[in-house]
Amino acid sequence: MTGTIELHGERTGNCLRISVALEEAGLPYSVVHVDLRSGAHRRPDHLKLNPWGKVPSIVDSTVAGEPFVLSQSNAIIFYLDQKAPGHIFPSDDVRARAIALERFFYFLTEVISTGMSSFQLGSGQPGQLILRDAALSSLIASNRFLTDSRFMAGDAFSAADIAAFTFAMAYQRAIDWASAPELRRWFDEVGNRPTVQRGLAAFDR
């Protein structure tokens, strides 16, 4: 394979989901820092990659022809899954894949997007704490996915774990860990996973 996959982004939840997924998939990549504080994501060179003026985006030069540019973190997750099947979602068992998708979308829609809405409202705004509590209680409710399983969708690590972990990491001081012992056990195991550690550090270098 010639060329590389560039990941354009910064150390945010949406970007960390991609760096961890790239590590899990075993796909070589390099990071291009987009300094959100200085507004680099709204400059013309970045808008050519990401018309929404957000991060992450990838530029895949490992493909034939022109480099392939893709934005929207969840579209990127599915693209990486197709490039390296079986690491991000199960590939050979229809039911296992469906369950991993079920859990992945649970974390995206009930936890991450609710938490993001709370964050965007800003502290002290009406509804902000209600949304934050809803996101946290949905995360706590995922304890039940873990009572008979090592990971969020069974015994294989998947994108559901990546989505849950990046959120749990950001909110770890607000989580009532005593009420979710399996979640605590899972959080420690995922946090110690070498691919996750490398993915989390991707924007620090």
Ligand X SMILES: N[C@@H](CCC(=O)N[C@@H](CS)C(=O)NCC(=O)O)C(=O)O
Least separation in angstroms between CB 18 and ligand X: 9
User: Of residues 5, 31, 55, 196, which one binds ligand X by CB under 6 A?
Assistant: 55
Between 42 and 185, name the residue whose CB sits nearer to ligand X: 42
Structure tokens given for 55? 């991060």
Residues numbered 58-97 forming contacts with ligand X, rule: CB under 6 A: 72-74
Q: What does the alpha-carbon distance between residue 127 and residue 77 come to, in Å, rounded to a whole number?
A: 31
20 SS3 class: helix
Span near ligand X by CB under 6 A; candidates 7-15, 60-68, 120-128, 194-202: 7-15
The secondary structure of residue 108, as a DSSP letter, is I
Phi, psi of 31 (to 5 degrees): -100, 135
Least separation in angstroms between CB 53 and ligand X: 6
Q: How many residues in the shown chain lie near ligand X by CB under 6 A?
A: 11
User: Of residues 4, 11, 12, 96, which one binds ligand X by CB under 6 A?
Assistant: 12
Phi, psi of 149 (to 5 degrees): -135, 150
Span near ligand X by CB under 6 A; candidates 11-19, 20-28, 89-97, 144-152: 11-19
Q: What does the alpha-carbon distance between residue 155 and residue 151 come to, in Å, rounded to a whole number?
A: 6
Please check whether residue 196 is in contact with residue 190, taking contact to mean a CB–CB distance below 8 angstroms. yes
Span near ligand X by CB under 6 A; candidates 9-17, 20-28, 80-88, 133-141: 9-17
Least separation in angstroms between CB 119 and ligand X: 10
User: Of residues 5, 20, 41, 131, which one binds ligand X by CB under 6 A?
Assistant: 41
Q: Which residues contact 121 (CB under 8 A, 6 or more apart)?
A: 127, 128, 131
Please check whether residue 76 is in contact with residue 59, taking contact to mean a CB–CB distance below 8 angstroms. no
Binding site for ligand X (CB under 6 A): 12-14, 36, 41, 54-56, 72-74
